[in-house]
């Protein structure tokens, strides 16, 4: 054992916190020190709930451990030995005792939940002598040797770094030899031989004898748990969830209780409310004669705790309610106590050892977005929590899963199988059988369904890349199900009729044989799997959704608009509560089949007059575009961005296409090809685009402004109240805006004179270049509003092309250079500084300058909380993100009002 006397210099709390009925050091508030699991074990114990006694090594010891070069500080070792003695006293067993040995579990427990990310060791304290004591004390030698067998497997894997499949093979060999079908067929004697075999294999494979000293086992396990904080997968998970490495993990050492001591024993997982739909009903799954790992790993498919639930699944007499009514009653009383105490839905682990209920863990339960809304509303009504609390508890990003299309019930479908509806929503994609494949194909722009026998933490990236996840084993609380719900991804789990062959890369189901690349569709709400693609329909939102949205609207102070280019987008945006259009990209209108030719004619024009002829053709089309958009938005503000992309984006590039275009335009092929080539740019992002187009070809913006003005005039004449907002992109200097404002204003006034209709209008600019932010005071003089184009501002401030950064961005996130992808969540330190600076400079000149954001960050909750603190008036995002933005804006406003710092997830 490696120990050190230094390393705990920075520790401010105790090294070890004890918990046992009537003698508990910690509480639920001490998550930072005890981790989530440790804090809740302490809290539960204090509440008088039956929890096996134990103690928690504080998270500060994890830092001390790493600072000491991965050694256990000496003082810690002493504290642990002291606490262990107390556990022995409480439970009346002794660690390493040959007659009635104390066994313990060693579990990780960080401040934030990191499901399945770190290591656990059970049954610790067994050796060739204590196993006999356990057999004696339990009167069940088979149980004792099976526990020992499990311990060796777990310990050799986690602590000794051995490939555990060797031991699995040895066990399978024995089963074959004996003609057994199930693990449970193995007798105590078989297991005894297996243990001997296991120990030999461990020695052969690792070169080390399996440790027989329980203390040595303990130090090894604690060391392994600390180390598991820094495994690649834990680091990846932390980065995905913005958890700082400095937090560290606590280690919980707790007396073992056994759910596998026979048919009067069991283990299970339960939720105080239904995590899938939020209904206020107790919900759980359990397995008789099993250890907790058997439930979570999804190796055996568990049975509902409630008789009613079991019955729905066609299972009779097997529920906990039916098999162990007394235990069930105590469990119900416990869950009610816990939920009332924690004021939130709880996810609990329990074990029944020979008829006695033990609670092993409670924590806030993960839930689907639908359930979260239902629970929030119910808890407000139950007066359990305030409206603000209810809003703050919801994860805005999770609303996404409610807004995505589901399968059209009227569509024709070929059902392949039906399994557990593990995470709602619909998904279609090509079948893949490995996470690597899923990631690869996603990168190639393909939509995939990841099909696995079961999933494990190694599959996290593959699951994130997939549209949906399908497993052939495991329940509603299996890894696949829990993770998919967290990601808001559709998942169908435990599809036992399916046979997946990783080698052949095939999926067999009810006579069908599907290969990699074949398309399937999942319905995560019904559990069905369909052949091919199935039509999807827009989601219908629940009453709770509306209620929460209205609550959010009442609390938020920032406006929420949508980025929408078409009346269809605008309709969607309105239906999700957008209060205007913050960005209408006019160029998207240019690609219509009826107008692209005129657009190209405009682009290849060699003289101003040729260009004007083409623009003349576009004018009525653009006018009707804007007319429809204004009509749809019924007087809500509409910000129209004038032409932005470089012109070469509109022309074809292959000789063949150019030849066709030359024919259409009656132009010489070579001349046209030269013109197209002349448009080529080395760095189009930094090239001839945005307002630069209008500085060289003013007639383009003239036409667009005229179209806007004519549309506005027509509607104002017919009685609509309307203030069009003209937005000039890519402004870098005040002078550009001066020139183009004058140009636009002149055109609008001309239209007003021609039509005799007066209307107000705003002319503003995007702030999307660092120079614009740096000189926002100069620009504000001529601008009625600013709208931050944070996509381009990120590209230029970071010198990072969104199109090209793919090949190194993941390395950047993995290495912790970027905490998150800066195109997903705004880089507050760098780009954010430009935003804050520009708001201040702009408002110094123009106190009431309207300032918004229309980059994709406008729909990202962390970014929204930043925008709140930066003083923005509104955010604009894609229509589907509008509800997310409404909730995130409300949360930001609540936090900001309470004096808290916005931007919870950012560091």
Task: Take residue 199 and report the two structure tokens written for it.
Answer: 């120990």
Confirm or reject binding of residue 800 to its own copies (CB under 8 A).
Answer: yes
**Residue 467 or 702 with smaller CB distance to its own copies:** 702
Strands (E), 35-184: 54-57, 72-73, 94-95, 101-102, 104-110, 120-124
Candidates 47-55, 490-498, 762-770, 879-887; binding stretch for its own copies (CB under 8 A): 762-770
Confirm or reject binding of residue 607 to its own copies (CB under 8 A).
Answer: no
Confirm or reject binding of residue 799 to its own copies (CB under 8 A).
Answer: yes
Confirm or reject binding of residue 683 to its own copies (CB under 8 A).
Answer: yes
Query: Given phi > 0 = left and psi -120 to 50 = alpha, else beta, which region is 856?
Result: alpha
Q: Give yes or no for a contact between 680 and 598, defined as CB atoms under 8 angstroms apart.
A: no
Integer Cα distance of 431 and 515 in angstroms: 7
- HSE value, Cβ hemisphere, 13 Å, CA-based, for 591: 11
Per CB under 8 A, the list member of 625, 699, 747, 768 interacting with its own copies is 768
| 821-854 core/surface letters (b: 16 or more CB in 10 A; e: else) | ebbebbbbeebbebbbbbbebbbeebeebbbbbb
| Minimum distance from residue 798 beta carbon to its own copies (Å) | 5
Confirm or reject binding of residue 79 to its own copies (CB under 8 A).
Answer: no
Confirm or reject binding of residue 744 to its own copies (CB under 8 A).
Answer: no
Confirm or reject binding of residue 115 to its own copies (CB under 8 A).
Answer: no
Residues 6+ apart with CB under 8 A from 71: 2, 3, 4, 7, 65
Three-class SS state of 506: strand
Candidates 349-357, 615-623, 677-685, 720-728; binding stretch for its own copies (CB under 8 A): 677-685
| Minimum distance from residue 683 beta carbon to its own copies (Å) | 4
| Minimum distance from residue 443 beta carbon to its own copies (Å) | 12
> Which listed residue (62, 404, 479, 691) is catalytic?
479
Task: Take residue 48 and report the two structure tokens written for it.
Answer: 């008088």
Per CB under 8 A, the list member of 510, 696, 718, 898 interacting with its own copies is 696
Task: Take residue 43 and report the two structure tokens written for it.
Answer: 């809290």
Candidates 180-188, 466-474, 716-724, 791-799; binding stretch for its own copies (CB under 8 A): 791-799
As a whole number of angstroms, the longest Cα–Cα distance in the chain is: 103
Per CB under 8 A, the list member of 176, 829, 847, 899 interacting with its own copies is 829
| C-alpha closest to that of 854 among 775, 740, 768, 763 | 768
Integer Cα distance of 708 and 728 in angstroms: 13
| Minimum distance from residue 906 beta carbon to its own copies (Å) | 15
Q: Give yes or no for a contact between 776 and 742, defined as CB atoms under 8 angstroms apart.
A: no
Pairing of strands 356-364, 512-515: unpaired
| Minimum distance from residue 815 beta carbon to its own copies (Å) | 7
Q: Which of residues 770-789 bind its own copies (CB under 8 A)?
A: 770-771, 774-775, 778
Per CB under 8 A, the list member of 541, 798, 843, 904 interacting with its own copies is 798
Q: Give yes or no for a contact between 248 and 62, defined as CB atoms under 8 angstroms apart.
A: yes
Pairing of strands 519-523, 426-432: antiparallel
Confirm or reject binding of residue 444 to its own copies (CB under 8 A).
Answer: no
DSSP H/E element including 192? helix 188-206
**Residue 540 or 803 with smaller CB distance to its own copies:** 803
Contacts of 342-345 with CB under 8 Å at 24 or more apart are 342/28, 343/379, 343/384, 343/385, 344/379, 344/385, 344/393, 345/271, 345/272, 345/273, 345/275, 345/375
**Residue 532 or 816 with smaller CB distance to its own copies:** 816
Per CB under 8 A, the list member of 40, 346, 790, 795 interacting with its own copies is 795
**Residue 158 or 841 with smaller CB distance to its own copies:** 841
| Minimum distance from residue 731 beta carbon to its own copies (Å) | 10
Confirm or reject binding of residue 603 to its own copies (CB under 8 A).
Answer: no
Per CB under 8 A, the list member of 373, 797, 854, 872 interacting with its own copies is 797
Per CB under 8 A, the list member of 730, 820, 839, 889 interacting with its own copies is 730
Confirm or reject binding of residue 845 to its own copies (CB under 8 A).
Answer: no
Q: Which of residues 806-825 bind its own copies (CB under 8 A)?
A: 807-808, 811-812, 815-818
| Minimum distance from residue 699 beta carbon to its own copies (Å) | 14
Helices (H), 517-595: 543-555, 567-575
Confirm or reject binding of residue 161 to its own copies (CB under 8 A).
Answer: no
Per CB under 8 A, the list member of 157, 454, 565, 792 interacting with its own copies is 792
Confirm or reject binding of residue 177 to its own copies (CB under 8 A).
Answer: no
Integer Cα distance of 557 and 71 in angstroms: 51
Task: Take residue 340 and report the two structure tokens written for it.
Answer: 């009332």
| Minimum distance from residue 837 beta carbon to its own copies (Å) | 9
- HSE value, Cβ hemisphere, 13 Å, CA-based, for 740: 36
Confirm or reject binding of residue 209 to its own copies (CB under 8 A).
Answer: no
| Minimum distance from residue 239 beta carbon to its own copies (Å) | 13
Per CB under 8 A, the list member of 796, 825, 865, 868 interacting with its own copies is 796
Integer Cα distance of 742 and 898 in angstroms: 44
Q: Can you name the residues that pair with 794 across neighbouring β-strands? A: none
Confirm or reject binding of residue 833 to its own copies (CB under 8 A).
Answer: yes
Active-site residue, 691 included: no
**Residue 71 or 813 with smaller CB distance to its own copies:** 813
Handedness of CA 79, 156, 292, 486 (dihedral sign): positive
Confirm or reject binding of residue 830 to its own copies (CB under 8 A).
Answer: yes
| Minimum distance from residue 64 beta carbon to its own copies (Å) | 23
- HSE value, Cβ hemisphere, 13 Å, CA-based, for 392: 17
Active-site residue, 854 included: yes
| C-alpha closest to that of 820 among 771, 773, 861, 872 | 861
> Which listed residue (490, 854, 857, 877) is catalytic?
854
Confirm or reject binding of residue 240 to its own copies (CB under 8 A).
Answer: no
| Minimum distance from residue 715 beta carbon to its own copies (Å) | 34
Confirm or reject binding of residue 848 to its own copies (CB under 8 A).
Answer: no
Confirm or reject binding of residue 675 to its own copies (CB under 8 A).
Answer: no
Q: Can you name the residues that pair with 536 across neighbouring β-strands? A: 407
Q: Give yes or no for a contact between 575 and 403, defined as CB atoms under 8 angstroms apart.
A: no
How many C-beta neighbours within 10 Å does residue 594 have?
A: 7
Q: Which of residues 355-374 bind its own copies (CB under 8 A)?
A: none
Task: Take residue 758 and report the two structure tokens written for it.
Answer: 């007066």
Binding footprint of its own copies, residue count (CB under 8 A): 49
Confirm or reject binding of residue 805 to its own copies (CB under 8 A).
Answer: yes
Cα 878 to chain centroid distance, Å, stands at: 18
SS3 of the chain: helix, strand, coil, percent, to 5:
50, 15, 35
**Residue 507 or 835 with smaller CB distance to its own copies:** 835
**Residue 596 or 800 with smaller CB distance to its own copies:** 800
Q: Give yes or no for a contact between 531 and 416, defined as CB atoms under 8 angstroms apart.
A: yes
Integer Cα distance of 715 and 709 in angstroms: 10
Three-class SS state of 406: strand
**Residue 232 or 593 with smaller CB distance to its own copies:** 232
Confirm or reject binding of residue 645 to its own copies (CB under 8 A).
Answer: no
Confirm or reject binding of residue 891 to its own copies (CB under 8 A).
Answer: no
Confirm or reject binding of residue 654 to its own copies (CB under 8 A).
Answer: no
Q: Give yes or no for a contact between 75 and 15, defined as CB atoms under 8 angstroms apart.
A: yes
Confirm or reject binding of residue 56 to its own copies (CB under 8 A).
Answer: no
| Minimum distance from residue 874 beta carbon to its own copies (Å) | 24
| Minimum distance from residue 244 beta carbon to its own copies (Å) | 13
Q: What are phi and psi of 352, to 5 degrees?
A: -110, 115
Integer Cα distance of 642 and 778 in angstroms: 21
Confirm or reject binding of residue 834 to its own copies (CB under 8 A).
Answer: yes
Judged by the rule CB under 8 A, the positions of this chain that interact with its own copies are 681-688, 692, 695-696, 730, 732-733, 735-736, 739, 768-771, 774-775, 778, 792, 795-801, 803-805, 807-808, 811-812, 815-818, 827, 829-831, 833-834
Which positions are annotated as active-site residues?
A: 479, 854
């Amino acid at each position: 054992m490696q120990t050190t006397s230094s390393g705990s210099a920075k520790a401010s709390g105790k090294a070890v916190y004890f918990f046992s009925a009537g003698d508990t050091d910690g509480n639920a508030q001490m998550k930072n020190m005890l981790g989530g699991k440790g804090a809740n074990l302490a809290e539960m114990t204090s509440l008088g709930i039956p929890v096996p006694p134990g103690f928690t090594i504080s998270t500060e010891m994890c830092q001390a451990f790493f600072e000491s070069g991965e050694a256990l500080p000496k003082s810690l070792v002493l504290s642990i030995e002291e606490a262990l003695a107390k556990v022995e006293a409480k439970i009346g067993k002794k660690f390493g005792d040959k007659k009635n040995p104390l066994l313990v579990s060693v579990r990780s427990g960080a401040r934030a939940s990191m499901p399945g990310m770190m290591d656990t060791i059970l049954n610790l304290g067994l050796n060739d002598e204590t196993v006999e004591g356990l057999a004696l004390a339990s009167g069940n030698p088979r149980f004792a040797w099976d526990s020992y067998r499990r311990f060796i497997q777990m310990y050799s894997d986690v602590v000794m770094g051995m490939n555990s499949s060797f031991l699995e093979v040895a066990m399978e060999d024995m089963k074959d030899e004996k003609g057994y079908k199930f693990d449970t067929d193995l007798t105590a004697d078989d297991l005894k031989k297996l243990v001997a075999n296991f120990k030999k294999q461990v020695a052969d494979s690792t070169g080390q004898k399996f440790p027989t000293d329980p203390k040595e086992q303990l130090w090894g396990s604690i060391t392994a748990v600390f180390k598991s904080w820094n495994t690649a997968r834990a680091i990846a998970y932390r980065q995905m969830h913005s958890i700082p490495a400095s937090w560290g993990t606590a280690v919980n050492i707790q007396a073992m209780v056994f759910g596998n001591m026979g048919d009067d024993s069991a283990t299970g997982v339960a939720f105080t409310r239904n995590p899938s739909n939020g209904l206020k009903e107790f919900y759980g799954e359990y397995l008789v004669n099993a250890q907790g790992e058997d439930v979570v790993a999804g190796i055996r498919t568990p049975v509902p705790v409630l008789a009613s639930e079991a019955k729905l699944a066609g299972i009779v007499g097997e529920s906990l309610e039916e098999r162990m009514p007394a235990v069930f009653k105590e469990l119900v009383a416990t869950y009610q106590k816990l939920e009332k105490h924690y004021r939130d839905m709880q996810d609990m682990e329990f074990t029944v050892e020979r008829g006695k209920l033990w609670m092993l863990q409670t924590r806030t339960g993960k839930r689907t977005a639908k359930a979260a809304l239902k629970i929030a509303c119910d808890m407000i009504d139950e007066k359990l929590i305030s409206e603000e609390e209810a809003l703050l508890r919801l994860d805005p990003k999770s609303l996404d899963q409610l807004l995505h299309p589901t399968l059209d019930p009227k569509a024709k479908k070929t059902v392949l199988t039906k399994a557990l509806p593990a995470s709602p929503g619909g998904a279609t994609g090509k079948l893949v059988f490995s996470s690597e494949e899923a990631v690869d194909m996603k990168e190639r722009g393909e939509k995939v369904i990841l099909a696995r026998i079961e999933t494990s933490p190694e599959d996290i990236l593959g699951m994130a890349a997939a549209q949906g996840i399908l497993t052939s084993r495991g329940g509603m609380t299996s890894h696949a199900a829990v993770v998919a719900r967290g990601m808001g991804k559709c998942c169908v789990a435990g599809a036992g009729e399916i046979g997946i062959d990783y080698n052949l890369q095939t999926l067999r189901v009810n006579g069908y044989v599907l290969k990699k690349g074949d398309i399937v569709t999942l319905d995560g709400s019904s559990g069905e799997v369909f052949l091919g693609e199935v039509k999807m329909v827009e989601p219908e939102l629940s009453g709770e959704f509306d209620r929460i949205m209205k609550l959010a609207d009442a609390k938020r102070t920032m406006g929420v608009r949508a980025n929408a280019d078409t009346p269809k987008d605008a309709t969607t945006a309105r239906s999700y509560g957008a209060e205007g259009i913050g960005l209408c990209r006019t160029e998207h209108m240019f690609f219509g089949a009826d107008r692209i030719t005129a657009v190209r004619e405009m682009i290849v024009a060699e003289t101003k007059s040729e260009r004007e002829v083409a623009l003349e053709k576009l004018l009525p089309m653009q006018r009707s575009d804007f007319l429809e958009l204004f009509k749809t938005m019924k007087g809500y503000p509409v910000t129209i961005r004038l032409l932005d992309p470089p012109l070469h984006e509109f022309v074809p590039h292959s000789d063949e296409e150019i030849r066709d275009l030359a024919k259409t335009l009656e132009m010489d092929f070579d001349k046209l090809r030269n013109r197209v080539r002349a448009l080529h740019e080395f760095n189009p992002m930094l090239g001839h685009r945005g307002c630069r187009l209008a500085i060289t070809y003013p007639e383009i913006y003239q036409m667009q402004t005229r179209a806007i003005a004519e549309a506005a005039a027509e509607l104002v004449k017919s009685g609509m109240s309307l203030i069009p907002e003209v937005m000039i992109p890519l402004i870098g200097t005040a002078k550009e805006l001066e020139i183009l404002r004058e140009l636009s204003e002149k055109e609008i006034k001309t239209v007003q004179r021609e039509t005799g209709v007066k209307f107000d209008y705003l002319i503003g600019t995007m702030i999307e270049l660092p120079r614009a932010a740096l000189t926002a005071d100069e620009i504000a003089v001529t601008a009625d509003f600013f709208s931050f184009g944070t996509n381009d501002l990120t590209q230029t401030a970071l010198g990072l092309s969104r199109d090209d950064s793919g090949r190194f961005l993941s390395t950047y996130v993995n290495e912790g250079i970027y905490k998150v992808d800066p195109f997903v969540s705004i880089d507050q330190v760098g780009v954010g500084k430009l935003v804050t600076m520009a708001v201040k400079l702009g408002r110094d000149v123009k106190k009431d300058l309207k300032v918004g954001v229309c980059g994709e960050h406008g729909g990202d909750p962390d970014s929204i909380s930043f925008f709140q603190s930066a003083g923005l008036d509104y955010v604009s995002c894609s229509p589907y993100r509008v509800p997310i933005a409404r909730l995130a804006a409300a949360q930001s406003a609540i936090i900001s009002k309470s004096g808290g710092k916005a931007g919870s997830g950012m560091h």
